[in-house]
Amino acid sequence: MPCDLILALDVPTREEAAPILRQLRGQLRWVKIGLQMFTAYGPDYVREVAGLGFSVFLDLKLHDIPNTVAKAVESLGPLPIRMLTLHTAGGGEMMRAARAAQQKTNPDLLLLGVTVLTSMDSAGLNEIGVVSPSAEQVARLGKLAADSGLRGLVCSPLEVALLRQKLPADIQLVTPGIRPAGEAGNDDQKRIMTPAEAARSGSTYIVVGRPILKAADPAAAARAILAELGSEGLNN
C-alpha cells in the first residue's frame, strides 16, 4: 500500500508558515492544520492554504456530545478540507452522528478517529483510569470507530501492524510520531518510528512536523523523507 507524507504545520503564526509553504509547493501534497492555527486564524486560513494547492487535513480532534459534534462537522463540511479528526473516546453514538453529518455535507471528506494520543503511554493511560496497555486500548477504539462507520484512524506507528491484522483492509491509517533516521526525538511524542518503518508496517499517511519545519531547507528535508519512503518502493 502506498504511503504519503503530511506536513504538520505546527507553527505559531501564519507569517512563520508562509515561507515554509512557499518552499514546499510542488514538493508535497498534504498539509495538516491543527488547533493552534485554526483557533488563531479560522476558516479563512484553511481556504488560504488550500488555495496554494495543498490538500488540507484539519486536525481539531472533535469530542463532545453527539449532536454538538455533528453540528460542528456540518459547519466545517463546506471548507476545502480532505480530512478531519475526532476522538474515538467520544463513543460510537458520537462517531455515527459525525459520519451522518459528513455524508450529508461533504461526502468526500475522510473522518479520522483519534485513538490514543502519541504523547501518551500506558502510564499516562493509567492516570485517567485506563488499565489496558496502550496497544490494547488503540485496538479497542479502532474497532469501535470502524464499526461506527469511520474509514480512517490516527494512531501511533507502533500500533499500525496490530490494526492491520484486526481491521478491514480499506481503513486508512494516519501516523504521527514519525522521526527520520538519525533525527533526535526530544519532544512530547513518546511512541515514535522512522518513515520507512511506518510505511513497512502499513501506514497510509505519515505526519511529520519539526524535522521539516525546523530544517535549514524545509523542501530538502521533505524530499529526503519522500526519498526514504521511495526507497521502500512505497512512494511511486
pLDDT single digits (tens) 156-194:
888 999 999 999 999 999 999 887 866 655 455 454 678
pLDDT of residue 118: 76
| Domains in the chain: ranges and CATH | 4-230 (3.20.20.70)
As a whole number of angstroms, the distance between CA 129 and CA 134 comes to 12
pLDDT at 184: 52
**Percent above pLDDT 70 for the chain:** 92
Q: How far apart are CA 38 and CA 117, in angstroms?
A: 19
21 pLDDT above the threshold of 70: yes
pLDDT of res. 181: 66
Nearest to 87 by CA among 132, 154, 172, 29: 154
Q: Which residues contact 59 (CB under 8 A, 6 or more apart)?
A: 8, 32, 33, 34, 35, 83, 84, 85
28 pLDDT above the threshold of 70: yes
Would you say residue 198 has pLDDT above 80?
Answer: yes
pLDDT confidence band for 230 (50 / 70 / 90): confident
Please give the positions annotated as active site. 61
71-126 pLDDT, tens digit each: 999 999 999 999 999 999 999 999 999 999 999 999 999 999 999 887 888 888 88
pLDDT above 50 (res 233): no
- Please state the pTM of the whole predicted model: 0.90
Q: What is the pLDDT of residue 197?
A: 87
The per-residue pLDDT for 187 is 52
Q: Cα separations (Å) of 191 from 22, 47, 221?
A: 31, 32, 22
CB neighbours of residue 210 within 10 Å: 17
Note the pLDDT of residue 65: 98
Q: What is the pLDDT of residue 182?
A: 60
Cell matching residue 182:
538519525
132 pLDDT tier (thresholds 50, 70, 90): confident
3 state SS of 177? coil
